[in-house]
Amino acid sequence: MPQPTLGQVHIDRWLTNVAQKFLLDPGVFVYDQVFPVVPVNNQSDLVLKYDRTAFFRDAAEPRAPGKQSQGGGFTVGHDMYQCMQWAYHMDIPDEVRTNADSPINLDSDATDMVTQVLRIRMERLWALRYFVAGLWTTARTGVPGAPAAGQVRQWDDYVNSTPMVDIRNIKLAMWMLTGYQPNTMAINKCTWYALRDHPTLVARLVFTQAVNKLTRAQVAALLDLTDIVVSESVYHRTPMGQNPVTMQPCLGRHALICYVPSGPSVMRPSAGYTFSWDRGNNGAGIVIRRIRFVHGEDKDRIEGRFYRDCKVLEPALGAFIQNVISEASCTPATFDITCPPGTV
């Protein structure tokens, strides 16, 4: 007896309650978590800098009756910020939008993608301006063997490395230079795992409390820091449609230890500031707008932008350990990907 086939009674459609969209939680990015973000009214301006040496000089002298006191003064200088615009967009033709089936919402999807691309650019800009060798006064290099001057044993060597001693020596070096001690450390996820499981840190707590895994607050306390900020964002630079794709952390396998105030201040120094110009958009970092093409293209553009400058202001208030863990502990992931039919 003739019967309809499965293909005749059902046409495959998108599920409306399940989809795969790789959106990162905003908390995995550190670009606003280390250095205070300073909203500014102009795209460029000057930052006042006082002469550090004048405030530490032991220059007071005994004063005889009727005589003038010993006097002195200070000089001022400046540094300059320049907020560069970064932007990205996706175009949506009217026909594609109208023809899209649920659950595809092209305006929402484009906004999500543009926002994440710009967040990744913010993170990479932060890394390129702060998280590289040669910027900070105190510098160390992680090595797999016995360390020489200016070197430390890589922290994933659980037999020989001494991260607590390394941080203590950095704190002392910065204190001698500036009178301030670092309070914040920025690392990536690979470095965090190596540090969290380090036997010398675990041993400090194992006999006083139940230790499943150390928290960031516990590790920060052991290292005499206020905060440990961990970047968990990843990125790639492979052009669309090309293989292979190599994913890697937005921050390398290094460590930045620095002094930063809790917010922008005219009374305290900071290793750096992040200047953000919003062009009057109520303090917004990333601004998304929809632009209508009016010359016959019949499409909208979902465009995002931000203006930002990541500025090192006092190199002596930062210390950088390059390659603080081995390459084997933070290997980029490479894979091939084929865009499915119907890719927008």
| Per-residue pLDDT reduced to its tens digit, 10-22 | 777 878 788 888 9
Residue 211 domain flag: yes
Nearest CA among 179, 184, 322 for reference residue 259: 184
Residue 341 has what pLDDT? 45
Residue range 258-284, pLDDT digits in tens: 999 999 999 999 999 999 998 766 556
In angstroms, rounded to a whole number, what is the distance separating the alpha carbons of residues 272 and 37?
A: 10
DSSP state of 100: P
Cα-to-chain-centroid distance, residue 107: 28
In angstroms, rounded to a whole number, what is the distance separating the alpha carbons of residues 56 and 54?
A: 6
3-state secondary structure (DSSP) of residue 274:
strand
Residue 38 domain flag: yes
Residue 5 domain flag: no
Give me the percent of the chain exceeding a pLDDT of 90: 77
Residue 265: domain span: 30-42+79-335
| Residue of higher predicted confidence among 116 and 15 | 116
Residue 294 domain flag: yes
Q: Report how many domains make up the chain.
A: 1
Residue 74 domain flag: no
Pull the structure tokens for residue 80.
């300059």
The CATH number for 157's domain is: 3.90.1690.10
Residue 307 domain flag: yes
Confidence class for position 106, pLDDT limits 50, 70, 90: very high
Residue 245 domain flag: yes
Residue 1 domain flag: no
How many C-beta neighbours within 10 Å does residue 186 have?
A: 24
Confidence class for position 344, pLDDT limits 50, 70, 90: very low
Nearest CA among 264, 262, 261, 231 for reference residue 248: 231
Nearest CA among 82, 23, 76 for reference residue 52: 76
Confidence class for position 212, pLDDT limits 50, 70, 90: confident
